[in-house]
Amino acid sequence: MLAVALEEAHLGFDEGGIPIGAALFRRSGELISRGRNRRVQQSDPSVHGETDAFRRAGRQRSYRDLVMVTTLAPCWYCSGLVRQFRIGTLVVGESRTFAGGLDWLRENGVEVIDLDSQECRALLETFIARHPEVWNEDIGEEQGIGTREQGTGNREQGTGNRE
């Protein structure tokens, strides 16, 4: 499942965008949709990896038995989407670079599985090293302000916007 989200993240990276990918699956493993952060490519701050995959899934009768897979812990916007539609399981590639709303999702009954993927982390850290200003914009930080020199630290819950 993570391989699909990683493929999307790599596509985004190759397009010059923020390398965060996502996919939506049935519990059986059937792929429903996939997406990637396209904020840079489409100049649209609402096109996060999770929202892109969610929109491409179309209407579903229920979301409770679906699994959202994303290469990075979701921001508050995307965490709200998971909670609003009661997506039952969230698989996260990594949360060291950005912690997002994982604790809040757990507290609200979402099964969160953090894979702590070195590949996910390395891809995003490469992007951040090359484009710190885009990353800081993405997580809602002013230029040059962040946790560590370029905003690459594990964000505290409740700060920054991530995508």
Model's pTM, two decimal places? 0.86
CB atoms within 10 A of CB 158: 11
Which residues are identified as catalytic? 50
The owner of tokens 């429903």 is: 32
Number of residues that make up the chain: 163
**Rounded to an integer, what distance in angstroms lies between the CA atom of residue 146 and that of residue 88?**
32
Alpha-carbon torsion, ordered 73, 77, 81, 86, to 10 deg: 60
* pLDDT tens-digit profile, the chain (163 residues): 999 999 999 999 999 999 999 999 999 999 999 999 999 999 999 999 999 999 999 999 999 999 999 999 999 999 999 999 999 999 999 999 999 999 999 999 999 999 999 999 999 999 999 999 999 888 887 765 444 333 344 433 333 445 4
